[in-house]
Structure 1
Amino acid sequence: MSGREPADPAVPLIPDAAALRAHVVVRRRDFAVDIALDVAPGDTVAVMGRSGAGKSTLLGALAGLVPLDGGEIVLDGRVLDRAPRVRTAPMHRGIVLLGQDARLFPHLSARENVAFGPRAAGVPASVARSSADEWLVRVGLPGAGDRRHAQLSGGEQQRVAVARALAAEPRVVLLDEPLVALDAVTAAEVRAMLRECLAGVTTIAVTHDAVDAAALADRLVIVERGRVTQEGPVREVLAAPATAVAAAIAGLERVEGVARRGGWESAGMRLESSDAASLTLAAEEGTPLAAVFRAADMRLGEGCPATVRRLEPTPTGVRVVTDRGTAEVSPSEATAIRVGDVVLVRVEADRVRFVAAS
């Protein structure tokens, strides 16, 4: 604790927000992670990408658990890491990492888990425990201070882990998919709690769920094979994905082609758009374009021929994956479709957007 008077439970006890600037270079067996991040004080940046893209390596380096092969990490003007000569131990960084596993101390109560960080920093036990009870209220667990690890559900354990992390007054919080092991209902509840408790805390959140990014973050960074391929405000990135990976994250189809006659064409397939920005892009004849649309907006039965590559059952129907994009159909419609079939597909102009392609 910093010696402040106890605050109202509605106001998180957090230190002044920190600015983080990092260039993380870590050589891996098959590729090098080379990622630059600049996070303004109090902002939350979401990092997304396929498994193995280097996201957890990035967080490990920021937390001091993975040594840099190049670059530097600077927190509010203080150099934490600069390869190869400067390296600050994890416990002296002011950065806390919260992962998928709550990793609570099983022999301690919820209260003592939360009080652990302040007590380790020299705060008197009574003050640390009082603060811990305040944090348990903030994360939605009033009166749970005496309960131990085995008496808490998975969602409750994550709430205690968040309280323990923030009670240590970190300058930066790193989230490594803390909701992935929770059921959908519990994840939604913990997500809302995180949004409230992390307001004003400089945060980097690695996630595979676009809902997490939209709910928690100001900016989104897409990482592929250790490199940043797109970044910007969350909704802008999700609405106009620059790569197939970004499109998959956003739940969109992205098919590359070129501008032809005011529309988009690729190997005999033609799409048009009623979107004003898309029409401007399509006016440049021959310009590489990507057509972006939702799978639910592609229809079968008329339009351009496409070959069925696979069928994927979903909770509400079947996804028909073709070489021209993916359509969603009802289970009854899917009974007549086989892999290798040639089907006709179309997407209405008001459902298509064009984005620049390289």
Structure 2
Amino acid sequence: MTTSESADQDPNPLDVGEIMRLVDAALAAVGAATTTAELKQVRIDHAGDKSPLALANRAIGKLEPGQRKHAGQLVGQARGSVNAAVAARQNELNAAELEAALQTERVDVTLPVDMHPEGALHPITALINDMCDVFVAMGWEVAEGPELESEWLNFDSLNIGPDHPARGLSDTLFVEPASDHKLLRTQTSPVQMRTLLSRDLPVYIVSPGKVYRADEYDATHLPVFHQLEGLVVDKGITMGHLKGTLDHLAQAMFGEVRTRLRPHYFPFTEPSAEMDLECFVCHGDSVGNPDRPCRTCKSEGWIEWGGCGVVNPRVLKAAGIDTDVYSGFAFGMGVDRTVMFRNNAADLRDFVEGDIRFPRSLQGGAR
């Protein structure tokens, strides 16, 4: 073989110097890789099945038996060095790329987000909280009681006789068996009697909660609705204290609004009255004026809000209270109707049908 012919042939893949050159080239390429994608290509070029070191490994089989051991050790060490360098570099690049991703994709958890629509309290719950806050600020207490109530506490103790129409099946939801004399309370007034029977005087409480009536389900009536009632029993309590308390509540709920007490009858108060609010839509201008009718007050100028009065002495005596020393007043109004007044809601059924848009629509309209 001539010198020129020898120069044209490929380098001997099993030459020690050539193997070291291949290893150096591979290590240099590994060190130069700056991404995992580049390193993947380096692995293919220098440690893959078609890389020079892989070809050198396959060429071992063509050697004489005595030469194979030394050549195998040489190529094996070379391939091991390259693979170890690739693995080490892979770990470095993975860590670097992870750190970069964490920096670029980092979320500042202190920033405000709006991932979900803002929730809202039900308008009735929110108003009960507001009304109770008015009384708590005056030093009153909030009292609660069971919705399944005894007939005596719901009627008899409040001077509502056995022949009163409210005790009929057309108004009251009794619970079987009838011999237990249990019912779903028709008012939160039983809480007042429970308080008088269990606490020392004086008493200043409000009692909010659900009540039940055998009413039709329509735009202005619900079989389940909410009341807030108040009771004061102390020495020297008069109708004037009642008027001042209700005026304060009305202003807290509706702003500057005129009120009036209209004579009425309730078994548990004497004297009794209905409290009316001046219509906050027409302010009385619709009265006798067919050209400016008002749907809110039906052109009467006033809106009925709730009942009130001086506690009937019979009610106090039923609780064992000396009526020569103590007197009191009581009042009650529908929370649902109050929400309607404050927000011009047209249909009571909207309060119970679960449309999430309804409480949100009242958030901006509440007074």
How would you bin the TM-score normalised by the shorter chain? under 0.3
Q: Which has the higher strand share?
A: 1
Q: Which has the larger radius of gyration?
A: 2
Q: Which has the higher helix share?
A: 2
